[in-house]
Structure 1
Amino acid sequence: MSDLTQRFLFDDTDVRGELAGLDDSYQHVLAKHPYPEPVAQLLGELLAAASLLLGTLKFEGLLVLQARSSGAVPLIMVECSSEREVRGIARYHAEQIAPGANLRDLMPEGVLTLTVDPRAGQRYQGIVPLEGVDLAECLTGYFANSEQLPTRFWLRADGRRARGLLLQALPPDRIKDPKERAAQWEHLSTLADTLTSEELLGLDNETILHRLYHEEPVRVFEPQHLRFQCSCSRERSANALVSLGQADANALVEEHGGKVTIDCQFCNERYEFDATDVAQLFAGGGSEAPSQTRH
């Protein structure tokens, strides 16, 4: 499988790293909408970032990266579950997008929201302005401003493959002296800065780590696989209708000529419900309708 994250540790320092690569899942996301090239690249970088961040968290639930702006891309969002299932979407104004547009061009006055939504426990949300030259710099700034452990990102996507590299300092263990810790962090980060876009997108993990850190003792862990999976379903769509109440659900069906269609914005799946379906829902018969018009 080509869609994975892989963790590594520097044995003599208090620094960890993670590499992420998405091929098939990235292509699944792009296949759902005709994204212009700059939007497809930004969406790929966000997918890689969410995959990297998943490795920093220990929870069962959902991690969401969502950016909003007043520009050509008013919304871009990626979800990554603890089951390592990813999906993503972007909303854009095609006439405002120039070839080669960067983050600042696409999302002026933008804000990035990171949400951790565990199945059990408290929901967490952090917000950072999109003031960096690219998404990697914005995320690096988010960790710096939130007073968490120093963390850096390198993100690239080209419409075919999305890849990312993360370095993160760990709590003091092997090295206690603050100046020595800072020097080690600077050294490892500077080496990562030498990695070109072509190398990050084109080389396998083993080659990248050898290219950057062949003089460092690096311990590499088994890869963790990722896959595209949308969480929509007919049952969830039916629950949305039930939440309206029976009178409003019936009115909605009548307003739409006897059939209401609920579209998933992430995967373009369509779920149709007619009057018989709605009657069965409110009678407790479930979402698998007896009519011939069900999805």
Structure 2
Amino acid sequence: MTDQLKKYLFENRSVRVQAVRLSDTWRDALAHHAYTPVVRRLLGELVAASTLLAANIKFDGSLLLQIQGDGPISLVVVECRSDLSLRATVKVREGQTVPEDGTLQSLLNVHGAGRFTVLLDPKRKTPGHQTYQGIVPLEGETVAQALEHYMKSSEQLDTRLWLAADDQQAAGLLVQRLPDHGGQPGEAPDEAWNRATHLASTLGAGELLSVDTDTLIHRLYWEETLLAFDPMDVRWHCPCGRERVAEMLRMLGRDEVDSILAEQGHVEVLCDFCGKPYLFDAVDCASLFAADAPIPGSQHPPTVH
């Protein structure tokens, strides 16, 4: 099965509904990491949210969601491209203990210095398609509340989010009021929006993670006429590779690489995003600096000792 995001509109086009449920993509994200449950939940919620927001990008590029803080977790970053391929990472502050009952505030905003950044980065920088960056204070106890605050204050869009993640699934539901659309004849302007959010508010994290999207949408909005769009596939994609790591080591220089070899007997590099390990032994490192040498081990998968 392919992980998919599904989009709907209320019949009068006043409310957008989007839902995503990630299984393979989320397991790929966790494959080389040993995140604690609270870190996993935080990252999974931001991953699900990134796909819901990136699905509405009108250019070829990336949406980056970044939470930077002063708590036990120093940084959370998710990048989701317009084709809904994504990667993500979490940085835990060295020597800090991450409490399992932590909230967004206690994990990232202990002293009020937390910041939430949204970056829209077009692949090709042309007039009208330059990089956009929005930064707001980190408000709310959850990822959903922080994003709702950002969408209201920076984008002037009423948006509600329901997000959940565990070790197997990451899922989310977005309900958004669209501008410049009236209601049905005889319907108050806010009635469709109020109805859409009220029904979604009955949703719990367990249901969001365990019920497939089609069933979930039917349960919530079976009395509504929804316009459905073609599903969009979601996948994990990290562009790291042994060749890129080798080039990075070359940039470090022979002296630095030799120093690491002398201390550890090998050089091991972990990708910041996917966590995949790349191991270079003494022979590999020597060949890095040989003129016109191929990338050591580039034809073979990395080995961990």
Q: TM-score, normalised by structure 1?
A: 0.85
- SS of the aligned residue for 1:120 comes to coil
1:161 lines up with 2:162 in the alignment = no
Q: 1 CA distance for matches of 2:219 and 2:23?
A: 22
- Tell whether the 8 Å contact from 1:274 to 1:293 is kept in structure 2 after alignment: no
User: How much identity, in percent, do the aligned residues show?
Assistant: 37
1:225-280 deviation digits (Å, cap 9, x = unpaired): 112221112333344356x4xxx622223323386554312222316352332333
AA in 1 matched with 2:159:
T
Q: Unaligned 5+ residue runs, structure 2?
A: none
- Tell whether the 8 Å contact from 1:26 to 1:44 is kept in structure 2 after alignment: yes
Structure 1 window deviating more from structure 2 (254-263 vs 264-273): it is 254-263
User: What is residue 180 of structure 2 aligned with on the other side?
Assistant: 172
Superposed displacement of residue 162, structure 1: 0.9
Task: Tell me which of 251, 257, 272 is aligned to 1:253.
Answer: 257
Task: Tell me which of 205, 208, 222 is aligned to 1:197.
Answer: 205
Task: Tell me which of 277, 285, 288 is aligned to 1:277.
Answer: 288
Question: Counterparts in 2 of 1:32-111, with a 5 A limit?
Answer: 32-92=32-92, 96-108=97-109, 109=112, 110-111=114-115
Superposed displacement of residue 113, structure 1: 1.4
User: What is residue 271 of structure 2 aligned with on the other side?
Assistant: 264
Summarize the Cα distance change of 1:62–1:271 in structure 2 as closer, same or farther, 3 Å threshold.
farther
CA-based RMSD of the aligned residues comes to 2.8
- Tell whether the 8 Å contact from 1:23 to 1:160 is kept in structure 2 after alignment: yes
1:222 lines up with 2:222 in the alignment = no
Q: 1 CA distance for matches of 2:298 and 2:214?
A: 55
AA in 2 matched with 1:26:
W
Structure 1 window deviating more from structure 2 (188-197 vs 249-258): it is 249-258
- SS of the aligned residue for 1:127 comes to strand
Q: 2 CA distance for matches of 1:97 and 1:216?
A: 43
Structure 1 window deviating more from structure 2 (62-71 vs 81-90): it is 81-90
Task: Tell me which of 117, 120, 145 is aligned to 1:137.
Answer: 145
- Tell whether the 8 Å contact from 1:113 to 1:128 is kept in structure 2 after alignment: yes
Q: 1 CA distance for matches of 2:122 and 2:141?
A: 31
- Tell whether the 8 Å contact from 1:155 to 1:165 is kept in structure 2 after alignment: yes
Task: Tell me which of 112, 124, 130 is aligned to 2:116.
Answer: 112
AA in 1 matched with 2:65:
L
Summarize the Cα distance change of 1:61–1:43 in structure 2 as closer, same or farther, 3 Å threshold.
same
Q: Unaligned 5+ residue runs, structure 1?
A: none
User: What is residue 9 of structure 2 aligned with on the other side?
Assistant: 9
Structure 1 window deviating more from structure 2 (78-87 vs 202-211): it is 78-87
- SS of the aligned residue for 1:163 comes to strand
- Tell whether the 8 Å contact from 1:66 to 1:76 is kept in structure 2 after alignment: yes
Structure 1 window deviating more from structure 2 (233-242 vs 160-169): it is 233-242
1:93-123 deviation digits (Å, cap 9, x = unpaired): 5862233322222222322211122111211
Summarize the Cα distance change of 1:12–1:196 in structure 2 as closer, same or farther, 3 Å threshold.
same
AA in 2 matched with 1:105:
S
Q: 1 CA distance for matches of 2:151 and 2:299?
A: 53
